[in-house]
Amino acid sequence: MPLKFEFPDARDWRYLIESLQTVIEEANFIADAEGLRLRALDPSRIAMVDLYMPREVFELYEIDEERVRIGVNFDDLNKILKRAKAKDKILFQVEGGRLRVTLAGKAERTFSLPLIDVVGEELPLPKVTFDVTAKMVSDTLRDALKDAEMISDTARFVGEEKELKIVAKSDKGELEARFSLESGSLLEYEVKQPSTSSYSLEYLEDIVSKAYRISDLVTLEFSTNKPLSLTFDIAGGGVLRYFLAPRME
């Protein structure tokens, strides 16, 4: 069998796939000796997702080939993952052009999906240096984005010396959410130079409302008029990272 990997909690995979779905409907996972990766751009090329799960995050990880490509439709995979019960383990096996997904709890249920041929370019990561880095509880960011979305479809991120602000303005009103180390709403904060950049709330809210379940903490990085990076650390050393293009004002 070219590839086999097992993860202790099937529901984490459901959250992960839902987080990937905020950017793309189908994509290739690439497995090699180091682990599993996925990098994809959304069709409008505004958002990118970059996932890395080292083999150490899996309970079992066996690969017989140098590189295995797993092309999947996330909607199809998620229908299976939604059938997972609490504490079900999940085993993925790739063989003969099919992906076998086993949910192992009280009973063991194995689903089989055809692998799909996803045409994708080899993508580099955006070449950006960041002037503002902030680490915060992901639920706090989610709340602020939900607030901002009531006002506008764009959020302006303002990185000042001591404070990070998320600002939304429209004829409906104005929102200013403020975060700082002092108030305890930021866990880490570094500003190389004050920066301001705006991003689509449609993407942001969608991404954070799914990915906050992957990790309690999120690291935001941005610079003036440059992409935003959102990093969610996965327990065991994995990383789910998003890049979002700025909206030019």
Partner 1 sequence: MCEERRGVLEAIASEIARCTRCPLHASRTRTVPGEGNPCARVMFVGEAPGFNEDLQGRPFVGAAGNLLNEMLKLAGLSREEVFITNVVKCRPPNNRDPAEEEVEACKPYLFRQLEAVGPEIVVCLGRHSARVFFESSGLKFESIMKVRGEPRRLVVAGRELLCLPTLHPAAALYNPRLRSLLEADFRLLARLLSRGQGLDRWFL
Pick from 45, 119, 161, 183: which binds partner 1 (CB under 8 A)?
A: 45
Interface with partner 1, residue 44, by CB under 8 A? yes
Interface stretch with partner 1, choices 11-19, 51-59, 126-134, 211-219 (CB under 8 A): 126-134
Pick from 66, 106, 127, 161: which binds partner 1 (CB under 8 A)?
A: 127
Identify the three-state secondary structure at position 228: strand
β-sheet bridge partners, residue 170: 173
Residues sharing a CB contact under 8 Å with residue 33, sequence separation 6 or more, in sequence order: 55, 63, 66
Chain positions 145 to 204 lying near partner 1, rule: CB under 8 A, are 196
Least Cβ distance, residue 110 to partner 1 (angstroms):
38
Nearer Cβ to partner 1 (33/125): 125
- With residue 233 as reference, give the H or E element that holds it: strand 228-234
Interface with partner 1, residue 222, by CB under 8 A? no
DSSP 8-state class, residue 123: P
Interface with partner 1, residue 208, by CB under 8 A? no
Least Cβ distance, residue 163 to partner 1 (angstroms):
16
The phi and psi torsions of 136 (rounded to 5 degrees) equal -150, 170
Give Rg (Cα) of the chain. 19
Of 145, 120, 149, nearest to 24 (Cα)?
120
- The string of DSSP letters for 163-191 reads EEEEEEEETTEEEEEEEETTTTS-SEEEE
Nearer Cβ to partner 1 (10/40): 40
Pick from 227, 230, 231, 240: which binds partner 1 (CB under 8 A)?
A: 227
Instruction: Map residues 128-147 to x or -, x wherever contact with partner 1 holds by CB under 8 A.
Output: xx------------------
- The string of DSSP letters for 90-106 reads EEEEEETTEEEEEEESS
- Footprint of partner 1 on this chain (CB under 8 A)? 41, 44-48, 123-124, 126-129, 196, 224-227, 243, 245-248
